[in-house]
């Protein structure tokens, strides 16, 4: 059994809904360790309500990302949606905003690692040791990523489960020990503490809690069945996130109520150290649960180590994300090709890792201010979300008759267009959130708008002076050619499979080629949906067969030591799905098997699927026909 | 805020306003597919206008 063999070897890389969920929750779940304190700085007693409001916007955003990602299961998230819906300039804007998010995710996650390790050494809770500690974390991860570490999916799943279980445990303990509806209502002095201005600024800051929603989009390339796995992964994430974010803030504000001190309302949850817990809010919850003695010490050490580990992994996810998006941007000629350069020995994009994930993150970290980092993150995130909402809505308008394998809800039909209400609602909310940040926070206004201005200048100069292409035109960087022999570097190969000897032969040819060049093979099984059925019809039997075929094909290819991703695609015709996959992955080669047919005048030699792929493929096509007896 | 900071903020607000208006005008001029230009342009106009209003209040 190929599937069992893979699992025994610990090489499971098939990303189903639970795998995707674990990867996302590892990221989204990590933000509670800083978002809770940061939001409380502004929202005070209304912190629980602010998280609920931000959660509703998150639900709309998750729906938008689910539809966009199923439609285009490729790395890039909002940048990819914007390319399809608008043009390359819009795609660049979204990607540049995302880049800011990754840089700040790295900075803020690394910055909070020392805060939670302060259980061992108190000075790590504040400046300058948290800055130094954070910088050390970033340097370590940059070096590890240049050398090329492999993240273990299994470790991530276990950590996400432990993290979620711990957060649930804290909520349960809190409900029994400190939860008080009376305290929660007494905490609120709306108009004074928080002021209306603080309240409206707190909402976009609370969206910081939903850091990492783009992760599913970036991993969707490796999902076998995006149409089923991606929406489920988003749903699971939303449920888990709501379970924590709708409850833990109430526990925190019950444990650390708002008091009037020297004429000002404050909660220790939103105060800086040494008195407050804005730098380590979850440790603040533990410390104020009403437990004491040995149990408190053990719980603090456990939560401290867990939080530091989760934040360390979230920092690493940011480093990987930053290098991936830079690589993608330079592949689309949005950034100079120097950022696409890979290390001669380690084969990793070391220039982009050092510059964006290393230097810029450490630069952001040097401010040493959690609220600045948090608000700057929200600035980039809500801009990126707004573009994603707009793109998904525009795609519905541009192609109103397109059959969607997954369609977000709710919708309303206007003049033949199914208008996505979730995108409209989400887009309005995130756009307003962005305006509030720009209007209310001076430091972020200068830093965030400065970042956008720098990006616009770099893009304009590079496009006009180097690429000599219009700003709105999509241009792919040429395939890297090695040496004088003009040997093409095949980094991505698409291999469609069916259950025939020729297909198996093609797969072996692709595997040998990929093993020589260190390439990745995307193995594709197409489920052809008859015209009389809707594109999302239940075809469980066909999908099960495709699943088995992919398992066998993967086992065969991995025997050559080649990295694979597998994909089930639904389409009316196999060739459209194959060509679409080659385009989406930016493949340099399609390898497919075909039976030789007796040549008749004007008739197809290999069959219509191969003919169409040959005609429409964006890259080279290699056909394996099987041997003919001598 | 110092006088310099206030002037800098007001200047930036005007830049945002102008940028927003230009973006909206260019988007309308370009025609089809410009939904995002209208949205981002509108956001810039609102942000610049609101900041300018608050700084003069």
Predicted ipTM of the assembly: 0.89
Mean pLDDT of A495-504: 87
Residues A86, B39: C-beta atoms closer than 8 Å = no
Q: Please report whether residue A615 resides in a domain.
A: yes
In the block, residue with structure tokens 């639900």: A59
Pick the residue from chain A with its C-alpha nearest to B38: A390
Note the pLDDT of residue B4.
Answer: 82
Beta strands in A90-146 (DSSP E): none
Distance from CA of B34 to the nearest CA of A (A): 7
β-strands A620-624, A589-593 pairing: parallel
Q: How far apart, in whole angstroms, are the C-alpha atoms of residue A160 and residue A29?
A: 8
Residues A431, B9: C-beta atoms closer than 8 Å = no
Distance from CA of A386 to the nearest CA of B (A): 9
Residues A439, B51: C-beta atoms closer than 8 Å = yes
Most confidently predicted of A192-196, A287-291, A447-451, A497-501? A447-451
Q: In the structure encoding, which two tokens stand for residue A444, read together? A: 């972020």
**Residue range of the domain that includes A609:** 481-624
User: Domain containing A524 — which CATH number?
Assistant: 3.40.50.620
What's the pLDDT band for A148 if we cut at 50, 70, 90? confident
Compute the mean pLDDT over every residue in chain A, rounded to the nearest whole number. Answer: 86
**Domain match, A348 and A436 both:** yes
Q: How far apart, in whole angstroms, are the C-alpha atoms of residue A213 and residue A232?
A: 13
Name the more confident of A116 and A313.
A116
What burial letters (b/e) apply to A409-447, b meaning 16+ CB within 10 Å?
A: eebeeeeebbbbbbbbbbbebbbbbbbbbbbbbeebbeb
Percent of chain A with pLDDT over 90: 42
Note the pLDDT of residue A6.
Answer: 37
Q: How far apart, in whole angstroms, are the C-alpha atoms of residue B17 and residue B10?
A: 11
Tell me whether B16 touches chain A (CB under 8 Å).
yes
**Domain match, A99 and A159 both:** yes
Domain count, chain A: 2
Tell me whether A412 touches chain B (CB under 8 Å).
no
What's the pLDDT band for A139 if we cut at 50, 70, 90? very high
Residues A442, B5: C-beta atoms closer than 8 Å = yes
Digit-coded pLDDT (tens) for A79-116: 999 999 998 999 999 999 999 999 999 999 999 999 99
Apex A446 CA angle, A441 and A447, nearest 5 = 100
**Domain match, A430 and A513 both:** no
Tell me whether B21 touches chain A (CB under 8 Å).
no
In the block, residue with structure tokens 């998280």: A51
Residues A449, B46: C-beta atoms closer than 8 Å = no
User: Domain containing A129 — which CATH number?
Assistant: 1.20.1740.10
Q: Please report whether residue A470 resides in a domain.
A: no
DSSP H or E run through A569: strand A563-571
**Domain match, A488 and A563 both:** yes
Distance from CA of A383 to the nearest CA of B (A): 9
Residues B35, A394: C-beta atoms closer than 8 Å = yes
Closest CB to B36 among A387, A435, A445: A387
- Residues of chain A found within 8 Å of residue B50, distances taken between Cβ atoms: 435, 439
Digit-coded pLDDT (tens) for A576-586: 888 888 887 77
Residue A493 · residue A587 · CB < 8 Å: yes
Q: In the structure encoding, which two tokens stand for residue A34, read together? A: 């800083």
Mean pLDDT of A402-428: 91
Q: How far apart, in whole angstroms, are the C-alpha atoms of residue A374 and residue A542?
A: 47
**Domain match, A447 and A309 both:** yes
In terms of Cβ atoms closer than 10 Å to its own Cβ (0-12, 13-18, 19+), residue A215 is: buried
In terms of Cβ atoms closer than 10 Å to its own Cβ (0-12, 13-18, 19+), residue A482 is: exposed
- Residues of chain B found within 8 Å of residue A89, distances taken between Cβ atoms: none
Q: Please report whether residue A11 resides in a domain.
A: no
Cβ partners under 8 Å of residue A484, min gap 6: none
pTM confidence score? 0.84
- Please identify among residues 429-448 of chain A the ones whose CB lies closer than 8 Å to any CB of chain B: 431, 434-435, 438-439, 442, 445-446
Digit-coded pLDDT (tens) for A430-477: 999 999 999 999 999 999 999 999 999 999 999 999 999 998 888 877
Residue A35 · residue A209 · CB < 8 Å: yes
Q: Please report whether residue A464 resides in a domain.
A: no
DSSP string, B9-52: HHHHHHHHHHHHHHHHHHHHHH-TT-HHHHHHHHHHHHHHHHHH
**Domain match, A580 and A492 both:** yes
Q: Give the side-chain half-sphere CA count within 13 A for A470.
A: 6
Q: Please report whether residue A567 resides in a domain.
A: yes
Residues A445, B51: C-beta atoms closer than 8 Å = yes
Is the omega angle on the peptide bond into residue A546 within 30 degrees of 0, that is, cis? no
Residue A571 · residue A529 · CB < 8 Å: yes
Q: In the structure encoding, which two tokens stand for residue A448, read together? A: 């965030």
Residue A578: what are its φ and ψ, rounded to 5°?
-65, -45
Where is average pLDDT lowest: A338-342, A523-527, B29-33?
B29-33
Q: Could you give the C-alpha distances from A475 to A78, A454, A599, in angstroms and in order?
A: 18, 21, 39
3-state SS, residue A247: coil
In the block, residue with structure tokens 């104020």: A288
3-state SS, residue A616: helix
To test the contact with chain A by mutation, choose from B18, B43, B48, B57 the residue with the greatest count of A C-beta atoms within 10 A, namely B43
Q: Please report whether residue A465 resides in a domain.
A: no
DSSP string, A475-486: -PPPPPEETTTT
**Domain match, A617 and A543 both:** yes
**Domain match, A36 and A183 both:** yes
**Domain match, A395 and A487 both:** no
Distance from CA of A629 to the nearest CA of B (A): 57
Residue A275 · residue A268 · CB < 8 Å: yes
Pick the residue from chain A with its C-alpha nearest to B12: A446
Tell me whether B14 touches chain A (CB under 8 Å).
no
Q: Please report whether residue A5 resides in a domain.
A: no
Distance from CA of B21 to the nearest CA of A (A): 16
Residues B39, A87: C-beta atoms closer than 8 Å = no
- Residues of chain A found within 8 Å of residue B54, distances taken between Cβ atoms: 439
Q: Please report whether residue A3 resides in a domain.
A: no
Digit-coded pLDDT (tens) for A256-289: 999 999 888 999 999 988 889 999 999 999 999 9
**Domain match, A92 and A234 both:** yes
Distance from CA of A515 to the nearest CA of B (A): 43
Beta strands in A369-447 (DSSP E): 411-414, 417-420
Q: How far apart, in whole angstroms, are the C-alpha atoms of residue A382 and residue A389?
A: 10
**Domain match, A555 and A453 both:** no
- Please identify among residues 42-101 of chain A the ones whose CB lies closer than 8 Å to any CB of chain B: 82, 85-87, 90, 93
- Residues of chain B found within 8 Å of residue A85, distances taken between Cβ atoms: 36
DSSP H or E run through A54: helix A47-71
Residues A386, B35: C-beta atoms closer than 8 Å = no
**Domain match, A571 and A603 both:** yes
């Amino acid at each position: 059994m190929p599937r069992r063999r893979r699992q025994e070897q610990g090489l499971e890389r098939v990303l189903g809904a639970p795998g995707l969920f674990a990867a996302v929750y590892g990221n989204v779940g990590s933000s509670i360790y800083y978002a809770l304190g940061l939001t409380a700085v502004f929202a005070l007693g209304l912190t629980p309500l602010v998280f609920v409001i931000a959660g509703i916007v998150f639900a709309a955003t998750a729906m938008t990302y689910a539809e966009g990602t199923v439609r285009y299961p490729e790395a890039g998230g909002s940048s990819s949606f914007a390319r399809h819906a608008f043009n390359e300039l819009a795609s660049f804007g979204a990607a540049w905003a995302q880049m800011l998010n990754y840089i700040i995710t790295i900075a803020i996650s690394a910055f909070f690692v020392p805060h939670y390790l302060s259980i061992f050494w108190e000075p790590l809770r504040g400046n300058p040791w948290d800055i130094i500690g954070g910088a050390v974390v970033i340097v370590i991860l940059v070096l590890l990523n240049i050398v090329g570490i492999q993240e273990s999916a299994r470790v991530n799943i276990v950590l996400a489960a432990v993290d979620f279980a711990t957060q649930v445990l804290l909520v349960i303990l809190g409900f029994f020990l400190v939860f008080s509806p009376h305290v929660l209502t007494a905490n609120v002095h709306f108009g004074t503490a928080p002021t209306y201005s603080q309240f409206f600024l707190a909402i976009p800051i609370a969206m910081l809690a939903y850091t990492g929603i783009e992760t599913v989009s970036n991993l969707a390339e490796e999902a076998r069945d995006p149409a089923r796995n991606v929406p489920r992964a988003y749903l699971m994430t939303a449920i888990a996130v709501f379970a924590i974010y709708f409850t833990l803030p109430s526990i925190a504000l019950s444990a650390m109520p708002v008091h009037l001190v020297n004429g000002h309302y404050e909660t220790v949850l939103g105060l800086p150290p040494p008195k407050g817990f804005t730098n380590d809010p979850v440790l603040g919850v533990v410390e104020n649960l009403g437990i004491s003695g040995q149990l408190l010490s053990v719980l603090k050490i456990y939560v401290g180590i867990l939080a530091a580990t989760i934040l360390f992994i979230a920092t690493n996810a940011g480093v990987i994300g930053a290098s991936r998006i830079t690589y993608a941007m330079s592949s689309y000629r949005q950034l100079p090709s120097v950022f696409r350069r890979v290390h001669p020995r380690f084969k990793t994009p070391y220039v982009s890792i050092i510059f964006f994930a290393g230097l810029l993150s450490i630069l952001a970290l040097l401010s040493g201010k959690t609220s600045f980092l948090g608000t700057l993150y929200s600035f980039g995130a809500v801009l990126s979300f707004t573009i994603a909402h707009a793109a998904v809505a525009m795609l519905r308008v541009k192609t109103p008759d397109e059959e969607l394998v997954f369609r977000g809800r709710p919708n309303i039909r206007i003049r033949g267009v199914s208008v996505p209400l979730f995108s409209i609602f989400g887009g309005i909310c995130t756009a307003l959130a962005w305006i509030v940040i720009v209007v209310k926070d001076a430091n972020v206004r200068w830093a965030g708008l400065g970042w956008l201005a720098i990006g616009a200048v770099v893009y304009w100069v590079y496009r006009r002076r180097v690429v000599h292409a219009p700003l709105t035109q999509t241009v792919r960087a040429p395939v890297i050619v090695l040496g004088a022999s003009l040997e093409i570097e095949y980094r991505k190969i698409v291999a469609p499979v069916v259950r025939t000897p020729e297909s198996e032969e093609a797969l072996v040819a692709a595997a040998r080629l990929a093993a020589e060049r260190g390439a990745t093979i995307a193995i594709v099984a197409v489920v052809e949906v008859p015209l009389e059925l809707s594109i999302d019809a239940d075809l469980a039997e066909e999908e099960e067969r495709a699943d088995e075929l992919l398992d066998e094909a993967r086992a065969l290819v991995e025997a050559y030591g080649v990295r694979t991703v597998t994909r089930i695609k639904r389409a009316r015709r196999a060739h459209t799905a194959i060509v679409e996959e080659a385009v989406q992955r930016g493949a340099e080669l399609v390898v497919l098997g075909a039976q030789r047919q007796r040549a008749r005048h004007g008739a197809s030699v290999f069959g219509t699927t191969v003919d169409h792929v040959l005609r429409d493929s964006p890259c080279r096509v290699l056909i394996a026909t099987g041997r003919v007896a001598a | 805020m110092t006088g310099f900071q206030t002037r800098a903020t007001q200047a930036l607000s005007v830049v945002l306003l102008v940028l927003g208006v230009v973006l909206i005008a260019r988007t309308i001029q370009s025609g089809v597919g410009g939904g995002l230009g209208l949205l981002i342009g509108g956001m810039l106009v609102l942000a610049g206008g609101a900041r300018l209003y608050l700084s003069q209040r």
